[in-house]
């Protein structure tokens, strides 16, 4: 199943003749997207185990949640991902229909912007994991990578990492489970350390 998702993402890029939406950005590549998916699978499973959700449903939904991200517009990728998941799970696997329905519902709803507690617990775990992936050391690394594409110098690093802290604070307001809150707390703490080290070691330039 993981191999199918990996190959589907790779094919999405290969079939895109004009490069698609900023494909030259590493985080819009098939390699980055697959890495993000694997991160979300691990995070979602952790949250599901601690919160009493169905871990298998949550893991499979997380695996498919962004499978269509590189071939359709952002506002329809969740619905398209659910369609692909349903086709794969019904033709290539032997899961009960109820399992397939739960997985596809979670994939379709993972971009929901309202209160996640309105949704099934498995969907909530997926939404929280998706939010948390770009918070923490991983988020800091991505933000530092982004600096090069914005023609920034390393002297902006502490400021850029500060954006990850802000993202973490926003995430803390959006997640509901205690497990997700604990993960946010740990990850913000890590990013604060990175920012403090940068501020301590990288001298700024005062042009005045």
Q: Which residue has the tokens 């298998």?
A: 56
Give the start-to-end residue ranges of the domains of the chain: 2-112, 137-201
Measured between alpha carbons, how far is 58 from 109 in angstroms, rounded to an integer? 12
pLDDT value of residue 25: 58
For domain 2-112, the CATH architecture is Orthogonal Bundle (1.10)
| pLDDT for 98 | 97
d(CA 135, CA 142): 10
Residue range 138-194, pLDDT digits in tens: 999 888 888 877 777 888 888 889 999 999 999 999 999 999 999 999 999 999 999
For residue 205, name the pLDDT band (cuts at 50, 70, 90). low
Q: Quick one: CA dihedral 50, 52, 57, 62, positive or negative?
A: negative
Closest CA to 8 of 65, 75, 74, 79: 65
Is residue 90 within 8 A of residue 44, CB to CB? The reply is no
pTM as predicted = 0.89
């Amino acid at each position: 199943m993981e191999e199918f998702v990996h190959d589907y993402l790779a094919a999405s890029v290969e079939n895109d003749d004009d490069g698609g939406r900023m494909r030259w950005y590493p985080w819009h590549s098939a390699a980055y997207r697959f890495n993000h998916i694997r991160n979300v699978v691990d995070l979602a499973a952790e949250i599901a185990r601690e919160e009493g959700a169905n871990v298998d449903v949550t893991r499979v939904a997380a695996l498919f949640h962004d499978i269509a991200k590189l071939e359709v517009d952002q506002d329809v990728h969740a619905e398209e991902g659910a369609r692909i998941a349903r086709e794969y799970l019904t033709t290539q696997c032997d899961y009960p229909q109820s399992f397939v329905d739960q997985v596809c519902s979670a994939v379709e709803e993972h971009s929901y912007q309202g209160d996640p507690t309105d949704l099934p617990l498995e969907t909530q775990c997926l939404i929280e994991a998706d939010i948390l992936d770009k918070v923490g050391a991983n988020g800091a690394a991505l933000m530092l990578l982004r600096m090069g594409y914005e023609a920034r110098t390393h002297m902006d690093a502490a400021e850029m990492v500060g954006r990850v802290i802000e993202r973490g604070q926003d995430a803390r307001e959006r997640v509901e489970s205690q497990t997700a809150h604990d993960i946010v707390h740990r990850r913000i703490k890590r990013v604060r350390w990175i920012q403090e080290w940068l501020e301590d070691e990288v001298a700024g330039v005062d042009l005045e």
